[in-house]
């Protein structure tokens, strides 16, 4: 069993009652966040595979009556990246700033100027491509496939004709 950290972005805001229902429903540690930039449930889940962890969490979220929009990989700071890559914080800062390496480190996706955050899959893929490292391709493809199906789920309900046209055009 491995430990997988990820977030599920929700359609609707979470109020205190929603958060309470979520905390009561899940055995493992979760956190809820709702604000002007979006609404998420963060998971830290043990599972044999990343896909299993994500699909189990999505099923439970849907069963509780929430509308998942997307799965997002975990967010990491410069310190997190340093620890995972066994580099110093200064080494990572130099890569981020473009003073070392190829100068094309992935841009942060959240946080602020003083505390930027990256999706771990983006950073790991960059290290794999530029420096050599463990492959994250499966995890990134899994997230993309799950998010495609979540989008199709909404489109099937709101614009089934468009979804049919898309599927027919791609199937050629």
Domain range summary for the chain, segments of one domain joined by +: 2-73+136-170, 75-130
- Tell me, what's the pLDDT at 128? 83
Burial of 134 (0-12, 13-18, 19+ CB in 10 A): exposed
In order along its 172 residues, the chain shows pLDDT tens digits of 888 889 999 999 999 999 999 999 987 789 998 888 889 999 989 999 999 999 999 999 999 999 999 999 888 999 999 988 889 999 999 999 999 888 899 999 888 888 999 988 888 888 888 877 665 557 878 999 999 999 999 999 999 999 999 999 998 8
Spatial separation of the C-alpha atoms in residues 124 and 129, rounded to whole Å: 9
- Tell me, what's the pLDDT at 32? 92
The CA-atom distances, in angstroms, between 97 and each of 106, 108, 131 are 10, 11, 16
- Tell me, what's the pLDDT at 27? 79
Give the pTM. Answer: 0.76
**10 within 8 A of 66, measured Cβ to Cβ:** yes
Spatial separation of the C-alpha atoms in residues 98 and 92, rounded to whole Å: 10
Query: What's domain 2-73+136-170's architecture?
Result: 2-Layer Sandwich (3.30)
């Amino acid at each position: 069993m491995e430990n997988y950290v990820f977030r599920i972005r929700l359609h609707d805001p979470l109020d205190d009652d929603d958060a309470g229902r979520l905390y009561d429903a899940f055995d493992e540690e979760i956190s809820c966040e709702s604000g002007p930039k979006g609404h998420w449930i963060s998971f830290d889940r043990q599972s044999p595979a990343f896909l299993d962890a994500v699909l189990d969490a999505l099923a439970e979220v849907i069963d509780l009556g929430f509308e998942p929009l997307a799965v997002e990989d975990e967010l990491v700071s410069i310190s997190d990246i340093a620890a995972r890559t066994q580099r110093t914080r200064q080494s990572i800062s130099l890569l981020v700033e473009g003073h070392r390496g190829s100068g094309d480190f992935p841009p942060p996706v959240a946080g602020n100027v003083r505390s930027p955050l990256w999706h771990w899959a983006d950073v790991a893929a960059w290290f794999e491509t530029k420096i050599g490292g463990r492959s994250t391709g499966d995890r990134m493809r899994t997230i993309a496939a799950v998010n495609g199906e979540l989008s199709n789920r909404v489109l099937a309900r709101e614009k089934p004709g468009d979804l049919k046209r898309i599927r027919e055009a791609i199937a050629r």
